[in-house]
Amino acid sequence: MSIMVLAELRKLIKYEQYKIDKNKRILTDVTCVPTSSSFKLVHGFADTDIAIYKEVDIPPNHSSFIQFYREALTNAGKFAVPFIIIELKSGKRLNSDNIRARDHVASKIRELFPFIAYYFFAENTTKQKMTLMRQGKSFTDSFIFKGRITKSDIKSIVHTYMLPHIRRIERQFKNVGEETNDYLE
């Protein structure tokens, strides 16, 4: 499912400043820890199925203060600012514990990135929309497909939900001021 969804997103969302990747690590928390002579901010991450994000540079003068948890797994000197995240689940892999776990991750990410849209796609499932609404309160929206998700489904979601979200964020960031725009470019 993720390869088809990813390919369709890349065809339909044509904003050069955004990257679209699967299995993207997104910041979920920051912890201040002591070192022998000072403190460091250690950043924790969660893997997401698909992320639409901007990659920004971490200023070199901040690198001694910032440390990424399991640093070898991150792109050193870069930081992903997510705008849309999609969790993809199918059939038997979709259970209440899985929904709650992803909801917890969505909650943590939304605390750090309040402008994000976080979608949950479920295919080949008997789960009901009310189950996802009850157990997945941190998702912007959830989409349930009784069968396989199709290219037409993706196209409809992109045009109805994702592109308007991206346009809204672009407008919001333009109104914030030069300092924010400089940081995101």
Torsions phi, psi for 21 (to 5 deg): -135, 155
The number of distinct structural domains making up the chain is 1
Per the domain annotation, does 41 fall within a domain? no
Residue 22 lies in a domain: yes
Is 65 inside any structural domain? Answer: no
| SS3 labels along the chain | CHHHHHHHHHHHCCCCCCEEEEEEEEEEEEEEEECCCCEEEEEEEEEEEEEEEEEEECCHHHCCCEEECCHHHCCCCEEEEEEEEEEEEEHHHCCHHHHHHHHHHHHHHHHHCCCCEEEEEEECCCCCHHHHHHHCCCCCEEEEECCCCCHHHHHHHHHHHHHHHHHHHHHHHHHHCHHHHHHHC
Residue 164, domain member (yes or no): yes
Query: Does a structural domain hold residue 43?
Result: no
CATH of residue 168's domain is 3.40.50
In this predicted model, what pLDDT tens digit does every residue of 98-121 receive, in sequence order?
888 999 999 999 999 999 999 999
Q: How is residue 1 written in tokens?
A: 């499912």
Q: In this predicted model, what pLDDT tens digit does every residue of 66-92 receive, in sequence order?
A: 556 555 444 567 778 999 999 998 886
Please list, in sequence order, all residues whose beta carbon lies within 8 angstroms of the beta carbon of residue 142, skipping any fewer than 6 positions away.
119, 120, 121, 122, 129, 132, 133, 136
Residue 130 lies in a domain: yes
pLDDT tens digits for range 13-43? 988 889 999 999 898 988 888 988 888 778 8
Residue 161 belongs to some domain of the structure: yes
Query: Considering the domain boundaries, does residue 67 fall inside one?
Result: no
Q: Which residues pair with 143 in a beta bridge?
A: 121
- Which pair of tokens denotes residue 170? 């672009």
Domain that includes residue 153, residue range: 2-26+48-57+82-184
Quote the pTM value: 0.83
Is pLDDT at 125 greater than 80 in this prediction? yes
